[in-house]
Amino acid sequence: MVNLGSDEIIKYPFLDEAGKYLSDKGFSLEDFALNSDLKKIVENAFERITISLDGHIYKSDLTSNTASTTTETFSFLIAVILLKLAGMNTLTRRFSLAEARRAEKFLEKDLKNQHDDKSRKISLEILQELFSVTIQKEDEYFTIPIVDYLKHSINFHEREWKLINRKITNGKVQLTSHETVRLVRKELDRYIFSKINSSSSPEMIQGFEPYVTKLKLLAKKFEVKTVESTEYPPCIKHAIEVLEKGENLSHSGRFLLATFLLNKGQTVEQIAPLFKNAPDYNAKVTFYQLNQLSGTSGTVQYKCPSCEKVKSQNLCFPIPECDPIINPIQFGRKRV
């Protein structure tokens, strides 16, 4: 177990140790409804969520006195409770992504920190315990075993993450502190998300209701009115469902969905809202990519991938109607 100081509890409030810190303080949830100081924290917690919904990162007060440690850590834990009460997956998705980004910043700084051995040690321990990456510091670099590196880098599509584009010696990959943390970004997000997901749902707490109601309203903003999809093949329905749930759809899944709908004659403006729920949604990027695929930006229009290709990407869920076709585009067409 990682032994955290109060500084680290603020930075990494999703670790078990942080929860323990609070129970040690002897608060109960009911106190939050009554005590006006604590009410302020609920306000903070709500803010922490809304900031994440806008895709921003919550800024922390790292002055590290007892008061700030309590407020900071509580605001995270109360945020989790609010999210559980609201029960909207989209909100949790966005929140955990923002929290992961926030922790990432601290991890990187701590790794680099030459003057504070303790912070550095803790960041190394977190990486080891949560993601089983064994990191060593060598001169100005960090090195990790090739096998550990591959386990994570394999999910990246950028060419710079290919093993050939890494300096490797004697079974180890050289990374900067930034790259080291970037390597586990996805897993950090997943870790926080599943941590929240698996925590038990509390009963409604007095004083929390207005916030929960507001959150539910906010979640509506991310809901998608999908186009009638009954005549779509199962692979497309699946992709839409994943997005509707606010879950992450793989790059190839997005490519499939976008090219399919574009080929069916839908416009970029019609399709873009579908991606609004993705945890890493960015309007500008989405439009740019859709325009690329559609050919409106001067390139040729991309074709919808074949069923075989879709199958190889584990995105195919065939039904009998799929039998005669080799491309999802053909689904539902009558043979002449």
Partner 1 sequence: MNEKDVMLLEDTFKKFYFEHFDLLHVPESPKLREFGFQKFNGGMNRHITLKSDKELHLLLMQNKPSDVYCSNACYRFPNLPMTEKDWLNADLIFDIDAKDLRKTHSVNNSVIKCSDCNQISSLSDSCHNCESTKLAVITLTCSDCIKSTKDEVKKLNQILTDDLGINPQSIEIFFSGNEGFHIYVPKSEYQEIGSKERAEISDYIMFRGAIPETFGFKKFNSNKSSLPKFEDDGWNGKLAKQLYGTKSNRSKSIQKIISGGYSLFQKRLEQFRDTIGIKIDPNVTNDIHRIFRLPGSINSKSGLTKIFVENLEKFDPYVDACFIDDEETNVKANCPIKFSLKNKKFGPYKNEIVSLPKFAAIYMICKGIASTT
φ, ψ for residue 167, nearest 5 deg: -80, 120
Structure tokens, 262? 């574009």
Report whether 192 contacts 96 (CB < 8 A).
yes
Question: Which among partner 1, ligand SF4, none contacts residue 154 (Cβ within 5 to 8 A by kind)?
Answer: partner 1
Binding letters toward partner 1, positions 94-133, x by CB under 8 A: ----------------------------------------
The piece of 105-113, 126-134, 293-301, 311-319 that touches ligand SF4 (CB under 6 A) is: 311-319
| 232 lies in the site for ligand SF4, by CB under 6 A | no
Pick the binder of ligand SF4 from 145, 234, 252, 302 (CB under 6 A): 234
d(C-alpha 216, C-alpha 210), whole Å: 10
| 322 lies in the site for ligand SF4, by CB under 6 A | yes
Q: What is the DSSP string of 114-149?
A: SS-HHHHHHHHHHHHHHH----EEETTEEEEEHHHH
Task: Provide the 3-class DSSP secondary structure of residue 225.
Answer: coil
Angle at 323 between CA 319 and CA 328, to 5 degrees: 80
Report whether 286 contacts 293 (CB < 8 A).
no
The piece of 8-16, 103-111, 216-224, 313-321 that touches ligand SF4 (CB under 6 A) is: 313-321
| 36 lies in the site for partner 1, by CB under 8 A | no
Task: Provide the 3-class DSSP secondary structure of residue 87.
Answer: coil
Count residues binding partner 1 (CB under 8 A).
Answer: 20
CB of 232 to ligand SF4, least distance (A): 9
CB of 318 to ligand SF4, least distance (A): 4
| 237 lies in the site for ligand SF4, by CB under 6 A | no
| 309 lies in the site for partner 1, by CB under 8 A | no
Task: Provide the 3-class DSSP secondary structure of residue 11.
Answer: helix
| 251 lies in the site for partner 1, by CB under 8 A | no
Q: Which is nearer to ligand SF4, 122 or 239 (CB)?
A: 239
| 159 lies in the site for partner 1, by CB under 8 A | yes
φ, ψ for residue 199, nearest 5 deg: -75, 150
Task: Provide the 3-class DSSP secondary structure of residue 36.
Answer: helix
Binding region for ligand SF4 (CB under 6 A): 233-235, 307, 310, 316-318, 322, 325, 328, 331
